[in-house]
């Protein structure tokens, strides 16, 4: 899934841990391994909420899929990937409908 993270939203470490489906302690240990990168971003180890650039990095690095309510809806709706997914889905629907019509139930 491609994340179009809302660039104005800070997210707590606890919320990111919940989205990653790990305990806050496990998530803290993961963040400790990324301390040099987070330090370079200017993020304090004691920060409770992470800024957008850190959230984007963590989501990509830890493979966290953000729910739609945490994503930038304008970017999500304008995405060429979204259009491709919708087109593929519509073609699959057409194929399934044609397939159903062509099946005969001979007894």
> Which residues make Cβ contacts (< 8 Å) with residue 27, sequence separation at least 6?
13, 16, 17, 20
For residues 48 and 13, is the Cβ–Cβ distance under 8 A? Answer: yes
pLDDT digits (tens, 9 = 90+) for 42-84: 999 999 999 888 888 898 888 888 787 777 666 555 555 556 6
pLDDT score, position 23: 96
For residues 76 and 68, is the Cβ–Cβ distance under 8 A? Answer: yes
pTM, two decimals, is 0.61
pLDDT digits (tens, 9 = 90+) for 3-50: 555 556 788 999 999 999 999 999 999 999 999 999 998 999 999 999
Ordered by start, the domain boundaries in the chain are 11-102
Angle at 16 between CA 10 and CA 21, to 5 degrees: 165
């Amino acid at each position: 899934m491609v994340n179009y993270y809302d660039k104005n939203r800070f997210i707590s470490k606890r919320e990111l841990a919940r989205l990653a489906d790990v305990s806050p302690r496990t998530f803290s240990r993961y963040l400790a391994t990324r301390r040099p990168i987070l330090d370079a971003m200017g993020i304090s180890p004691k920060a409770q909420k992470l800024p957008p650039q850190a959230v984007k990095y963590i989501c990509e690095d830890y493979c966290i899929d953000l729910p739609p309510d945490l994503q930038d809806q304008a970017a999500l709706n304008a995405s060429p990937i979204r259009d491709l997914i919708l087109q593929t889905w519509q073609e699959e629907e057409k194929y399934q409908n044609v397939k159903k019509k062509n099946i005969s139930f001979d007894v």
